[in-house]
Amino acid sequence: MLLANYHTHTKRCGHATGEDEDYVLEAIGHGFKHLGFSDHAMLPGFSEPYKRGDYTLFSDYVDSINNLKQKYDGRITIYLGFEAESYPCYFPFYKELLTNSVLDYMILGNHSAMSEDHKVYAHFSNITSPSQLYLYKDLAIKAISTGMFSIFAHPDYFMSSIANFDSDCKKVSKAIIEACIAYDVPLEVNVAGIRHGERQIGNNRRFLYPTDEFFKLVSKYRAKCIIGMDAHAPDQLMNESAVYTAVRFCKKHDLNVIDILDKIKRRR
């Protein structure tokens, strides 16, 4: 039985459904002890409709989750967080939210790269050159080594468009795993990738992520892993067949899976 999920979205991002409270009730119904909300970061001065909520929704997000923390106190521990990109121009904003205890935690979702003037200039779901692959690695490590992130969500996201796990992929993976170990950041086995089903990528039919080759290395290093639902609807907190596949994936690779994040402290 799973005890916690720290990767939960809300309808504010524009591509998730359900009320915040429905996620809480669903989690309680499945016996979860912890529920972490980690909606796509709402960022001042940057708008990305249908990918993340507008910054004007941020205070409603904070208030709503904090109310639920109180309402369900004693039944489930609720955490308030963000899934945030490695956008260095926003690191001071992230830092402020964590140090002022507005957020309890953050998870890293390394989907894209942003320039200092807030322009997204690379999408890591569609890596087409080694330089983009190495950019993925550099940004991931930059974020991990700030110490601000508690989980690296879908760390093998770079494999979404790469047909063969070649020597560059291996190098990048090793560097990422080493950084996660050094900063005690568990690597997520992402259930959304499983829910979305297998795709034909080159000669292989597989999930975009999690991928066998990456997690073979994770296993070899004995790095910590965690299962994350990446729920975009309340009933995705426990999609039994996808979770069964995720658990089997962890067993197959003999992963060092943790079920509770002991490092986050609940605030307010």
Nearer to Zn ion (CB atom), residue 83 or residue 104: 83
Nearer to Zn ion (CB atom), residue 15 or residue 263: 15
In the bound complex, what is the minimum distance in angstroms from residue 70's beta carbon to Zn ion?
A: 25
In whole angstroms, give the CA distance from residue 156 to residue 86: 15
The neighbouring-strand residues paired with 187 are 152, 225
In whole angstroms, give the CA distance from residue 237 to residue 32: 10
Nearer to Zn ion (CB atom), residue 171 or residue 196: 196
In the bound complex, what is the minimum distance in angstroms from residue 103's beta carbon to Zn ion?
A: 15
In the bound complex, what is the minimum distance in angstroms from residue 106's beta carbon to Zn ion?
A: 12
Residues of this chain that bind Zn ion (CB under 5 A): 83, 230
Nearer to Zn ion (CB atom), residue 139 or residue 174: 139
Residue 82 DSSP SS3: strand
Q: Which residue is nearest to Zn ion (CB)?
A: 230
In the bound complex, what is the minimum distance in angstroms from residue 172's beta carbon to Zn ion?
A: 21
In the bound complex, what is the minimum distance in angstroms from residue 7's beta carbon to Zn ion?
A: 6
The residue type at 28: I
The whole-angstrom distance between residue 257's C-alpha and the CA centroid of its chain comes to 15
Nearer to Zn ion (CB atom), residue 13 or residue 76: 13
Residue environment code for 107-122, b if the CB has 16+ CB neighbours within 10 A, otherwise e? bbbbbbbbeeeeeeeb
In whole angstroms, give the CA distance from residue 90 to residue 44: 9
The neighbouring-strand residues paired with 82 are 39, 106
